[in-house]
Amino acid sequence: MVRDLRGLTGFIPDWEELAAQALEPNVFYEHWMLLPALEAFGAGLDIGVVLVLAGGDLAGLFPVQFTPSFRNLNVSAVSVWRHLHCYLGTPLIRTDRAGDCITTLLEWLRRSRQARFLELPWISGDGRFRELLLERCNELGLTSWRTDSHKRGLWRQATHATGGAHSAVSGELRRQLRRKERRLAEHGRVEHVVLSPGDDVARWIEEFLRLEAGGWKGASGTALACSDSGRRYFADIATAAFRRGRLLMVGLDFDGEPIARRCAFRAGAGSFAFKTAHDECFASHSPGAILEIDNLTQLDGLEGLWWMDSCTTPDNTLLNRICNDSRTIESLAIASGPLGELVISGLRLLRWTNRRLIKRVSDPTSTHVAS
């Protein structure tokens, strides 16, 4: 367990190898994204990073937060840490050490006196990590509980025989966006721009931050530029990704001025969408939607890139319309002892009872709650 950020810097070479050999890629837990996040958003929280070492190799990395209560109950828990701008909680574990790594983590949990639960929020519900985790829980006699599950859009590289990159984009949507762009072009010069290796990344970063802060996120105080820590965090991760050739940004300009910017990060054979920002004065022309189509074109032209996680909410109609697949995102809780098992059993019963009551209220033909 490492609690001092300075203690983590010595692991960076092994950390990079771990990310490259990960069972499931997660760009949000690579060192150049996690360390700035811990500095920006971890103040005042009881956070540590659990490192699993095997044969001299870094086999797994789990950023965790300790809390004195689980779901408002007076029962301690340790949770894989996610901040506001982290859209996947699947930890980094080496493919060739995955089983042993998960077993070691669960045995550590069982011995720990600091927590009765391990929470894993927003992990991939379709991935190998979840499958191995539940297998090891069964082997060790640990009780697990799926506390949440939802789906979000996933884009996969399609062959031209099946329609290519835009296979899920309806003809009607493409026509609508072309009409809106033509109408915008009647008033000025419209340019589609793409961040290239030789570009001024600092300018792109500032343009994105300014656009996001100028919209509803700025008004509500949730834009990255609304705090020095948020601004610094985005500047650090975008700059680091750019230097590694892993920052994907596209934009839309009007008469030479930015009116929309979109940001994503590459990870192995895939990419993770991050954020889109646009000038709300141009909202009627749908610049954000136009950029999503531009993004698909960009992805289609990148060698070795096969998928994109939309990292969005289930109710994001646009992204779910243009993605040709979906992925399941789950949250799990694992009990480490009799008290934890008792709490999970009670919460399961409470959820079942609530569902039965809701069904009874919504179904006028129902006359009783099944026992």
Residue-wise pLDDT for 87-139, tens only, equals 999 999 999 999 999 999 999 888 877 777 899 999 999 999 999 999 999 99
In a domain, 82, yes or no: yes
| Contact present, 70 and 76 (Cβ < 8 Å) | yes
Number of folded domains that form the chain: 2
In a domain, 367, yes or no: no
In a domain, 301, yes or no: yes
pLDDT value for 155: 93
pLDDT value for 200: 98
Is the domain of 11 the same as that of 147?
A: yes
In a domain, 226, yes or no: yes
Is the domain of 288 the same as that of 342?
A: no
pLDDT value for 357: 55
| Contact present, 60 and 53 (Cβ < 8 Å) | no
Q: Angle CA(137)–CA(139)–CA(140) in degrees, nearest 5?
A: 65
Q: What is the pTM of this model?
A: 0.89
Which segments of 5-80 are extended strands (E)? Answer: 47-54, 57-67, 77-80
Is the domain of 144 the same as that of 10?
A: yes
Supply φ then ψ for residue 171, to 5 degrees.
Answer: -60, -35
Is the domain of 30 the same as that of 103?
A: yes
The amino acid occupying position 174 is: R
In a domain, 266, yes or no: yes
Is the domain of 144 the same as that of 18?
A: yes
Report the CATH number that the domain containing residue 70 is assigned in CATH: 3.40.630.30
pLDDT value for 349: 60
Is the domain of 37 the same as that of 119?
A: yes
In a domain, 320, yes or no: no
The residues of the chain scoring below 70 in pLDDT are 159-167, 337-342, 344-371
Is the domain of 14 the same as that of 146?
A: yes
The residue range of the domain holding 298 is: 158-305
pLDDT value for 358: 55
In a domain, 132, yes or no: yes
pLDDT value for 370: 39
Is the domain of 148 the same as that of 180?
A: no
In a domain, 73, yes or no: yes
